[in-house]
Amino acid sequence: MLNLNEQQKRDIVRYIEEGKELPEKYRFLLFENKRQVELLWNGKTDEVTNVVLPFQTIECVDEPRSEEHKKIQSDLFDFSGRQIQGWTNKLIWGDNKYILSSLKNGPLRDEIEKQGGIKLIYIDPPFDVGADFSMNIEIGDGESYEKSPNILEEIAYRDTWGMGKDSFLSMIYERLTLMKDLLSEDGFICVHCDWRVSSSIKLILDEIFNINNYMNQIIWERSSTGNKAISNYKLPRVYDSIFLYSKNENNKINIQYSEYAQEYIDYNFQYQDERGKFRRQILGTRGKESIKELEKDNRIITTKSGKKYFKQYLSESKGLPLTDFWLGTKIPDLRRQGGMTKENLKYPTQKPEVLIEKFIKLCSNEGDLVCDFFVGSGTTASVCEKLNRKWICSDLGKFGIHTTRKRIISVQRELKKDGKDYRAFEILNLGKYQTQHFISEGKNERDENKIQSDSNKEKQFIKLILDAYNSEPVQGFKTFDGKKSSRFVSIGPVNQPLSRFHVEKVIDECVEHNITKVDVLGFEYEMGLFPTIQQEASSKGIDLSYKQIPVEVFDKRAVSKGEVVFHDVAYIEMKPIVKGKMVSVELIDFCVFYNKGSLESTEQSLRNGKSKVIIDNGQIVKVSKDKDGIVNTEQLTKKWEDWIDYWSVDFDFESREEIIRIPKEDNPDEFEEKWTGDYVFENEWQSFRTKGNRTLELVSSSKEISGKSKIKIAVKVIDIFGNDTMKVLEVNI
């Protein structure tokens, strides 16, 4: 029964009659199931995405480098430590909202539960309102170029920060709700944030996970004040907050002990003798031999600056108990990644491995499943690999997925060298889905105004693209939007990757109307989409060409000047080397057709004494103007291989069909397996550039082929922007 007096009742009726919002005090009086403390923001809703989209297996990496001869496999791991059965780790490209929903409600949930469920989720979401997904990438032997965000990253940035903090909170609130449902009952979640959103994130976590399940706020001192500008307006910021929550109140962490001292010292060090009592000793008085003995036992570590710090042990040799205050200035490995550290990949917001290692050891055991749905450069996956944890990681950016792929392969190579086991991992995406899932975005389809607004925006978008492509609109087709000379034009979606599903519909309509030439335009496309779909079109007499839409289409001035160039998919030239039953592959050529900026307009707009790097017809060019206005251009991509960051080989492509699990039509709660018509790229050999090694092998190792007179070899090339291209070649043995 409502406990309202007459005055309160009259006020509520008056607010309703006048069409005004009720003040907050009445909300708590009207609704019994009220929360004592709740964070409110514009756009907050309890609605959570529940769509189930099938995961598409793009690639499987089951060994860091192929052996000279394939060996007989046995049990869970073969002689080299390579996994041959059991759980496969998963690296997923896509929007984590749909990834989380599909993991929670789809067939993969059963597989997760068989592993004991997810024991830990660690996330480091993009809490910086100034973030724009730009980053510097290296070219060839060391030049750099600032990579702009792709269209999907632009949309993600808009959706995350378009309404400022309100839209960020809406984004993270829905995802945290899904994560809680995914966690095992004995699981934990760690959320990393800084001063911009820490207070709001804390209240949201209290609401979703219950304040009784709040365990710690870990203070990570990531840097000292030495490199911070002193201001009269505010103090230097040197720490981030990491909130630790459990799924249930009684969950227990694994108590850890720190081996590190609490302070730097130059000459003195403190240690404990066998009785556990503290002793202080002057290094200089112990003699060089004694110091060498301590260093040999890994008890004294010297920093690059010459300072020494030591490890302290309790009498039980456990160390000092770990607290919620983690000093990056006292423990060198805990510092934010500097430019010279071996671990640093020059990836924005990259965190040190030892930081993630502490959380993984606190909240999980060997063999447990750990997840990170904002994985970035792959730190969480890398640490899981080293600590024998299973993992699922995802990211929206292709570049992040590619960076993580290289990082995990590097870790696997080290594990292999040390004779340790390692698991295979798969690269997945949510590419093959019905587009209607994304059109409604989970909103109420009865909202006619919203539907009409979306329809008008879509028409404006199509007209914009057709104008930039110098094509005319056409009517009466399902997938064709325009025509350019004798070629029909089909435009893919703006807010998702161009999928096989879309291209298959284009091919079907080509067959239906006897159309033989078509250009498919898209901002982004599924990994692994080409060349199999083009081969399918060619077998039906269709000349299908894919063109990538540049972001310059949204620049009206560039469109009016004719500066917008739709570039083709990259081109690979390779040569198989067959010697008896041994086969290897040589990479001969790789061409891209990117354009970003115009030489002419750059020269005109550039101020004296300034320079700018652009991409002109598949070449990265630095345009400089000296103090006298003299323009100089320097081509930074000296050789075709400068565009390549990574390439790999599948020596027997089409040996593994790509199977997805989709809901049954007659019973959506059950799933059935279906072959997509594609094949999984089984990564058997690869060469790639790293920060420390910029060289690239252009000839693969060889593999022995037995029992076959003809094979299909697939080569996948990842360019310096993280975009993939694949070519398949039939070879006679």
Is 425's pLDDT higher than 90? yes
Is 177's pLDDT higher than 50? yes
Domains in the chain with CATH codes: 97-255+322-387+402-417 (3.40.50.150), 257-319 (no CATH), 436-525+531-567 (3.40.1350), 569-732 (no CATH)
Q: Rounded to 5 degrees, what are φ and ψ at 536?
A: -60, -45
Q: Region 391-411: what's the mean pLDDT?
A: 92
Which pLDDT score, from 0 to 100, does residue 156 have? 65
Average predicted confidence (pLDDT) for the chain: 79
* pLDDT level of residue 36 (50, 70, 90 thresholds): low
Instruction: State the DSSP string of 119-160.
Output: EEEEE-----TT--S-EEEEETTTEEEEEPP-HHHHHHHHHH
Q: Rounded to 5 degrees, what are φ and ψ at 255?
A: -60, 130
Which range, 10-19, 255-264, 379-388, has the best average confidence (pLDDT)? 379-388
Nearest to 373 by CA among 612, 600, 7, 102: 102
Q: Region 42-64: what's the mean pLDDT?
A: 84
Give me 690's structure tokens. Answer: 């790293």
* pLDDT level of residue 251 (50, 70, 90 thresholds): very high
Which pLDDT score, from 0 to 100, does residue 71 have? 41
How many residues are recorded in the chain? 733
Nearest to 672 by CA among 661, 683, 657: 661
- pTM exceeding 0.75: yes
Is 128's pLDDT higher than 80? no
Q: Is pLDDT larger for residue 225 or for residue 135?
A: 135
Which range, 139-153, 389-403, 413-427, has the best average confidence (pLDDT)? 389-403
Which pLDDT score, from 0 to 100, does residue 22 have? 77
Query: 511-569, pLDDT tens digit by residue?
Result: 999 999 999 998 877 776 666 677 788 889 999 988 888 777 777 777 777 778 787 77
Query: 327-382, pLDDT tens digit by residue?
Result: 765 555 565 544 445 565 555 567 889 889 999 999 999 999 999 999 988 999 99
Which pLDDT score, from 0 to 100, does residue 535 have? 76
**Residue 624 in contact with residue 603, Cβ under 8 Å?**
no
Q: Lowest mean pLDDT: which of 114-118, 319-323, 374-378, 552-556?
A: 319-323
Which pLDDT score, from 0 to 100, does residue 573 have? 92
Q: Peptide bond before 531: cis, by omega within 30 degrees of 0?
A: yes
**Residue 197 in contact with residue 171, Cβ under 8 Å?**
no
pLDDT over 90 for what percent of the chain? 36
Is 497's pLDDT higher than 90? no
Tokens 């040999």, located at residue: 296
Buried b / exposed e along 70-109 (16+ C-beta atoms within 10 A): eeeeeeebbeebbbeeebbbbbbbbbbbbbbbbbbbbbbb
* pLDDT level of residue 657 (50, 70, 90 thresholds): confident
The angle subtended at Cα 312 by Cα 310 and Cα 314, nearest 5°, is: 170
**Residue 81 in contact with residue 421, Cβ under 8 Å?**
yes
Position 725: which residue type?
Answer: T
Q: Region 6-31: what's the mean pLDDT?
A: 76
Q: Region 451-472: what's the mean pLDDT?
A: 80
Q: Lowest mean pLDDT: which of 127-131, 195-199, 561-565?
A: 127-131
* pLDDT level of residue 268 (50, 70, 90 thresholds): very low
User: Which phi-psi region, left, alpha or beta, contains residue 54 (left: φ > 0; alpha: ψ -120 to 50)?
Assistant: beta
Is 180's pLDDT higher than 90? yes
pLDDT over 70 for what percent of the chain? 74
Give me 355's structure tokens. Answer: 């930081």
* pLDDT level of residue 306 (50, 70, 90 thresholds): low
Q: Lowest mean pLDDT: which of 84-88, 104-108, 258-262, 710-714?
A: 258-262
Helix (H, G, I), strand (E, B) or coil at 534: helix
Is 118's pLDDT higher than 50? yes
**DSSP 3-state percent helix, strand, coil across the chain (nearest 5):** 30, 30, 45
